[in-house]
Amino acid sequence: MALPPTAFKDLLYGSYDEVYETLRKKRCLSWRGRRNREAVLEVMQESARRHSEWVREHPRMTGPNAHDRLADALLASPYVNLKARRLAMKDTRWD
């Protein structure tokens, strides 16, 4: 089951390159994220890999979807800043 949408998750659509560019343009990357693009892309790829493994190991179970897990992985990394964290707290269901 997907978790509620947030203003941060609304930025995470498209290819990993597109997501990175969106985060950069919206000024949601920390200085580490701006300086190490490949590391940010690696976090995204690892999140997708871990989600795929979880789905294979837990067929028919519900939980956060790949999009939710991507947001969580980025927010747990040093590559997004306080602005991104604030956007992650803004529920967009009623916007």
**73 token code pair:** 């992985």
This prediction's pTM: 0.87
Residue 6: closest CA among 70, 49, 55 = 70
Residues contacting residue 36 through CB under 8 Å, at least 6 positions apart: 79
pLDDT in tens, 21-59: 999 999 999 999 999 999 999 999 999 999 888 777 777
* pLDDT greater than 90 at residue 61: no
